[in-house]
Amino acid sequence: MYPRAALEAVMKMHLRLLPCRSGQISFWMLPTYNALRALGHEPPEQFEMQVGLNSVDWHFIHQHVFIPSIARKVVNEGRADEMSCMMKIYLLALLAILMASAADDEMRDRGVVMEAVDNSTSVMDSLNFSGFYYDLDDGLGTERISITVKEGCLCDPDGVIYDSIRQEKAFDFEDWGMYYVIGFLGEGYFAGYSGGTGDDAPGCLYDESPNPEPLADEMLLKVLIDDDSEHQLSSGSPLDLEDGYQLHLRSVDVNGEKVSLELRKDGGTLDSKVISPSSSGSDTGSATYIYKRFVGGEEIVIVAVHFKSAFLGDEKDPKSGIASIDGVFQLSDMPKDVEEQAQFDKMRVVSVDATGILMRNEDDNITLSRNDEIKLMDRYYIRTSDQEMVDSENPLRFYIYRA
């Protein structure tokens, strides 16, 4: 695997440290090129497209592949300061490429090294595999995978078993209550609004959603914003949300008890409502602007904004209002399908309900052989060793990584 991330970083570093006039970029890209050549790499043909540097003249670079000759030319022309800067960048480029190329494993989220011992089972979860989703602040993450070897094979249907269970998480704006998150293939997703347990009443977002648990309908949504910091909203300064959404303040009544709002996406109006800020004595639901979208067959709240207070800058002009918000929550409006029998490379979804997801390598035996790379599911791969001896005393080593 080519260390694209390192290459991008080095190229961007060049342009940041040495902004070049047109026609000079190629000269300063020489350090990266020579670092690659020294390591036995050939820059890919589409490299300039990958990093967005279409102006790089690769023909020029191919004609100047030796730094020493360039260095002598620079020194002879009395450009020692440029030579010093160039060599510093050369060393940084060489270090970056060495770190990325000498150990591709460093560029991956690699799991524990396992051995292909007959009837052995290894288990990895969010605590010992960085390729799985884990929320360090709240200690959330339940993704787990078990690997069972039988005669050099991860045999259907129990050779590879993956499961993940939803967990409750508090909104940053705590008055909204709780919602469910779940890790799936290394990413955190929204699984539903919590209806509360015991003495905890469900929050207003749960109450306002006819379909509060999309995972029960075999769908997941991304949490785009979960924030409780305070913002000011005025008629000339809308609240910018994700995915092209904006919330505009249209007007505020003279007592600051009614706020007229308009939601737009990509310039088009989607919704308009009037809410009452909490400073007017209203409850959390009345002080929250809510926008719902159909996900599956029913609606769910995908935008929620809590208004703390509002007032008029000019009593004669209702459009001079200013509102203070202290809670924003937004979900993606494009769900990820996780329906039963959905295939993710060698893994198949065998069970989905409101609480979790289970996958197995059904109908797909995975044979482990030397020096192999097998795509397991999505961005997860199995890499086997290229060891010289494989026998009962030296079983084949392998690991799972997320690219």
Please write the tens of the pLDDT for every residue from 80-129: 555 555 555 555 555 555 554 444 544 469 999 999 999 999 999 999 99
Tokens of 188: 């955190």
The answer to whether 146 touches 164, Cβ cutoff 8 Å, is: no
What share of the chain in percent tops pLDDT 90? 64
State the pLDDT confidence band at 312, using cuts at 50, 70 and 90: confident
Amino acid 72: pLDDT = 44
pLDDT at residue number 34: 54
- pLDDT for 31 equals 53
CA nearest 131: which of 401, 374, 346, 344?
401
Structure tokens at 59: 């023909």
pLDDT of residue 13 exceeding 60, the answer is no
**pLDDT category, 70, cuts 50, 70, 90?**
very low
Kindly tell me if the per-residue pLDDT of 69 is higher than 60.
no
The CA distance from 403 to 400, in Å, is 10
For 316-374, what is each residue's pLDDT tens digit? 776 788 999 999 999 999 999 999 999 999 999 999 999 999 999 999 999 999 999 99
Percent of the chain with pLDDT over 70: 72
- Distance, in Å, from the CA atom of 78 to the CA atom of 338, rounded to the nearest integer, reads 64
**pTM of the entire structure?**
0.74
Residue 202: asked if its preceding bond is cis (omega within 30°), the reply is no
First to last CA, the chain: 9
Residue 207 has pLDDT above 50, yes or no: yes
Residue 53 has a pLDDT of 37
pLDDT for res 296: 79
| pLDDT (0 to 100) of residue 22 | 39
Q: Going by DSSP bridges, is the β-strand pair 259-265/268-275 parallel, antiparallel, or unpaired?
A: antiparallel
Give me Rg for the CA atoms of the chain. 28
Per-residue pLDDT, 9:
53
Sequence letter at residue 244: G
Whole-number Cα distances in Å, 100 to 96, 104, 132, 166, 239: 6, 6, 22, 35, 41
Kind and range of the H or E element at 399? strand 397-402
Spatial contact of 102 and 388, defined as CB atoms under 8 Å apart = no
Q: What's residue 99's pLDDT?
A: 54
Nearest to 113 by CA among 382, 359, 372: 382
pLDDT average, residue stretch 256-270:
94
Using a 10 angstrom Cβ sphere, with 0-12 exposed, 13-18 middle and 19 or more buried, the burial of residue 214 is: buried
β-pair partners for 225: 330
pLDDT of residue 400: 97
